[in-house]
Amino acid sequence: MHRAAIDPRPRLRLLWSDLLGVERGKYLYGRRAEAGHTNFAVTTFVTTLDKTILPVAGFAHDVGLPDLQARIDPSSVRPGWEKDTVVGVSDLSRDGAPLAVCPRQMLRQACAPWIDAGLYPQLAFELEFYLMAPDGRGGYGPLTAPAPHVYGTGPAVDPDGVIDDMAAAAAASGFPLEGFASEFDDAQFELNLGHRDALAAADDAFLLRLLVREVALRRGHRATFLGKPFAERAGTGMHVNLSFRTASGENALDDPHAKDGLSPKVHHATGGLLAHHEALAAVFAPNVNAYGRLRPHQMNGYWANWGYDDRTAAVRIPPERGAGTRIEHRTPDGAANPYLIGAALLHAARFGVERELVPSSSSDRTVPESLADALEAFAADTWLCHALGPDFVRAFTALKRAECERSEPTDLAFYLPFF
């Protein structure tokens, strides 16, 4: 009996992000892997975490659940963290045109006006998460470490070596990992990615979250980026650093002649971020659980405020100048979609620059109290909704309103398989 020869080439794991920030994809082999493209159902973009297909016009049964096309971006290909596997991120299209609700495409569109002006957006993500271990009762609880402390390293905070495995896998897969340490609470960790052009940086954050969760699973643990997985412990964020490089490679936010060393663009962009603070919360904190983290006095971007090297502010201007000059936003939730964070951040910052807004801090303006309230603020922000596009607004708000009806803030079991 004839047996086909086994193809010795690595398989391709072709991935993309849905609106929820959940990774979707396929393993491709042989000629299909070489071609780097395949099809999926567009309905994925209006499918909830519990697999309910929402009746959003143009995406569901009304159009017959049609195909979208996924084609690899060659610049995104990297060694995988599974044996004989390479990983790549795809761009999505439908009927020959870019898919309007593809988060990666939305970030690309948000970059375009800046690039047209000669500025190339740079992002760097700081990802926090909790590591969980078996609790002996068939479930999982926060890892118990021998000597937990803030900024801890080694067996004192990582007794099972799972964090070491994550760092090694990240290095082998080419992630620009700059730091890894324990955070404020026992079993909480933060990893820091280096700054890159916005699209590549969001790819890094999207894929590294997946790597962390899968390495934890392989070791019999669990990892969660959920904003408030444990009511009695500190929340989990995804701080985002924004800067711009010029065509010659200089940092466009640095001005050594200014009193504070900052270009006027820093102040105007900060003004834009604060002006849209309430609406941005829907994208930065896009699940019910997130609003357990966004409370006063938690160093999490609750108020519409800013400051120099101030970790209590929503928008922090770190002390580095020169090549390190940047704007840090501290509101985003650990489980938020990094592509959508980047897109919304760039649009709001651009509004501030174009209108020459002046930033001011306010103790009267805060993020909304719940996801439902944040969706109302988002719908009322015509600038942000217009920039992100009507298809996104319809699909995203439908998904999130369904989640508000379904989920409880502490429903860790509901979110854990995904975040």
Q: Looking at the structure, do residues 376 and 278 belong to the same domain, yes or no?
A: yes
Q: Looking at the structure, do residues 76 and 196 belong to the same domain, yes or no?
A: no
Please state, in angstroms and as integers, the Cα–Cα distance from residue 105 to each residue in 19, 66, 91, 175, following that order.
12, 19, 7, 21
How far apart CA 375 and CA 4 sit, in angstroms, is 54
Q: Looking at the structure, do residues 92 and 196 belong to the same domain, yes or no?
A: no
* Mean pLDDT taken over the chain: 92
Residue from 238, 198, 239, 235 nearest 329 by CA? 239
Would you place residue 60 in the very low, low, confident or very high pLDDT band (cuts 50, 70, 90)?
Answer: confident
- Helix intervals (H) in 192-331: 198-218, 264-275, 277-284
For residue 49, pLDDT beyond 60: yes
Q: Looking at the structure, do residues 114 and 93 belong to the same domain, yes or no?
A: no
- Apex 287 CA angle, 286 and 288, nearest 5: 135
How far apart CA 237 and CA 227 sit, in angstroms, is 6
Instruction: Say what the pLDDT of residue 398 is.
Output: 96
Please state, in angstroms and as integers, the Cα–Cα distance from residue 347 to each residue in 94, 341, 352, 360, following that order.
25, 10, 9, 19
Q: CATH number for the domain including 85? A: 3.10.20.70
DSSP state of 410: T
Phi and psi at residue 55, in whole multiples of 5°? -80, 65
Instruction: Decide: helix, strand or coil at residue 367.
Output: coil
At 269, the amino acid letter reads A
Would you place residue 3 in the very low, low, confident or very high pLDDT band (cuts 50, 70, 90)?
Answer: very low
Residue from 220, 44, 228 nearest 132 by CA? 220
Contact 317, 309 (CB under 8 A): yes
Instruction: Say what the pLDDT of residue 410 is.
Output: 64
Contact 100, 392 (CB under 8 A): yes
How far apart CA 100 and CA 102 sit, in angstroms, is 6
Q: Looking at the structure, do residues 157 and 86 belong to the same domain, yes or no?
A: no
Q: Scanning the structure block, which residue is given the tokens 């610049």?
A: 75
Q: Quick check: is 394 in a domain?
A: yes
At 154-201, the pLDDT tens digits run: 999 999 999 999 999 999 999 999 999 988 888 999 999 999 999 999
Would you place residue 2 in the very low, low, confident or very high pLDDT band (cuts 50, 70, 90)?
Answer: very low
Q: CATH number for the domain including 226? A: 3.30.590.10
Residue from 68, 131, 119, 73 nearest 96 by CA? 68
How far apart CA 305 and CA 315 sit, in angstroms, is 6
Domain that holds residue 256: 108-415
Q: Quick check: is 146 in a domain?
A: yes
Q: Quick check: is 400 in a domain?
A: yes
Instruction: Say what the pLDDT of residue 216 is.
Output: 96
At 86-100, the pLDDT tens digits run: 999 999 999 889 999
Q: Looking at the structure, do residues 44 and 135 belong to the same domain, yes or no?
A: no
Burial of 353 (0-12, 13-18, 19+ CB in 10 A): buried
Number of domains present in the structure of the chain: 2
Residue from 50, 45, 70 nearest 60 by CA? 45
Q: Looking at the structure, do residues 139 and 41 belong to the same domain, yes or no?
A: no
